[in-house]
Amino acid sequence: NLHAVIRRYQPSDREAVETVFRDGIMEHINPAFIYAMTRPLHITVSLFFYMGAYVMGGQSVVLALVSGGAWIGLVYFCCFEFYTGYVRARLNTDMQDIPGYYLSNPDNCFWVAEAEIHGRPQVLGMVAVEGKTDPGSEGKKYGELYRMIVSSSCRRSGLGLQLAKTAEDFCRERRFSKIELSTSSTQKAAVALYFRLGFKLVLVHTRSESPKKVINKYLYNYSILEITLI
């Protein structure tokens, strides 16, 4: 296992944290595209474009390929736009001022995983928790897990487990009733890790954070997972 130190975020970590965050999110573009193109709806639409252009174009193979390729390109663009838009949005909201958003409230926290690589300390992962009040629970609080990312250079090293356990220990110390998180259907390794930790699936839904709602509605499934603490 990689020997890493999990510690609270410091202002000097900002550039490294943004780099790990951006890289970790953008690597989901290709898996999301493959997931989208293998769904029955998109297979049907792709065949419609190919066959429709072939028939209407006087059995032109070139036109059929161009038409189908344009549709596939649009789907890829939507995946790209979705994740780049997500990065922009997060860097302009909670991650724009991590100390103010996560470290000024005792129910919130933001950690980084730091390890020595080639003699130099590097930030290789992160995780955050935001404390929230559970509606209809007489004021009980729960923790929501955010920004759980491990650099691709150190996957399967146990670092993700260390970060998740750090967040869980914090939530137990704050006496939260549960931990909740949302993850996409393409993040299979992350979902497997959460199940290992005892999280249970409570909801699967779709959502769109892009103007291309008609397409994005069918690109992403989100899973809501939670673990009961007390």
CA distance between the termini of the chain: 30
Q: What is the pLDDT of residues 158-213, one digit of tens each?
A: 888 899 999 999 999 999 999 998 887 677 778 888 888 888 887 775 554 444 44
pLDDT at 202: 79
Q: What is the pLDDT of residues 86-130, one digit of tens each?
A: 999 999 999 999 999 999 999 999 999 999 888 889 999 999 999
Q: Return all residues near 103 (Cβ < 8 A) that are at least 6 apart.
A: 8, 9, 109, 110
In the predicted structure, residue 215 carries a pLDDT above the cut 50:
no
Confidence of residue 219 (pLDDT cuts 50, 70, 90): low
149-181 as b/e: b if 16+ CB within 10 A: bbbeebeebebbebbbebbbebbeebebebbbb
pLDDT at 208: 47
Helix axis angle for 40-56 and 61-91, nearest 10°, is 140
CB atoms closer than 10 angstroms to residue 83: 20
The CA distance from 16 to 6, in Å, is 15
Are 209 and 86 in contact, with CB atoms under 8 Å apart?
A: yes
CA 68 to chain centre: 29
Quickly list H helices, the chain. Answer: 14-26, 29-37, 40-56, 61-91, 98, 159-173, 188-196, 213-216
Q: What is the pLDDT of residues 132-144, one digit of tens each?
A: 998 877 778 999 9
* pLDDT average, residue stretch 149-166: 87
In the predicted structure, residue 48 carries a pLDDT above the cut 60:
yes
Q: What is the pLDDT of residues 56-70, one digit of tens each?
A: 777 777 677 777 788
* pLDDT average, residue stretch 37-51: 76
H or E element, residue 127: strand 120-133
In the predicted structure, residue 229 carries a pLDDT above the cut 80:
no
Are 229 and 176 in contact, with CB atoms under 8 Å apart?
A: yes
The CA distance from 129 to 134, in Å, is 15
Q: What is the pLDDT of residues 10-31, one digit of tens each?
A: 999 999 999 999 999 999 899 8
- Residue 225's closest CA among 174, 168, 170? 168
The CA distances from residue 34 to 10, 24, 30, 131, 216, in Å, are 37, 17, 6, 35, 14
